[in-house]
Amino acid sequence: MFLLFGTRAHRAVINVVSFVCGYCGTLAQQRVVKKSTKFTLFLVPLFPLARSYANECTNCGGTTRLTATQVRHSLDWATSRAAEG
């Protein structure tokens, strides 16, 4: 019997917001990215092993780790801004 298992990393952009970057100091778009690692069996992802969030500057590439609460806040802020304009 041959068993094929491992892990697979996946990145997904959740939101894009604009504010001044803490690294380069310029007003630029910031991507909110979800990084997850899933356990795979026969190359089929079954369940997540780890999950993390980060903020990536599109100008300099600087990254800052985020919590799930901060990500929810950025989504709420983006939807409220879309409803206003």
> pTM value?
0.79
Question: DSSP H helical segments within the chain, as ranges?
Answer: 68-84
* Distance separating alpha carbons of residues 23 and 57, to the nearest angstrom: 9
Write the CA distances from 35 to 12, 54, 79, 80, integer angstroms: 7, 8, 22, 25
Report how far Cα 26 is from the mean position of its chain's Cα atoms: 21
What does the pLDDT profile of the chain (85 residues) look like in tens digits?
788 889 999 999 999 988 899 899 999 999 999 999 999 998 899 999 999 999 999 999 999 999 999 999 988 888 887 777 6
Q: Residue 43: which region, alpha, beta or left (left: phi > 0; alpha: psi -120 to 50)?
A: left
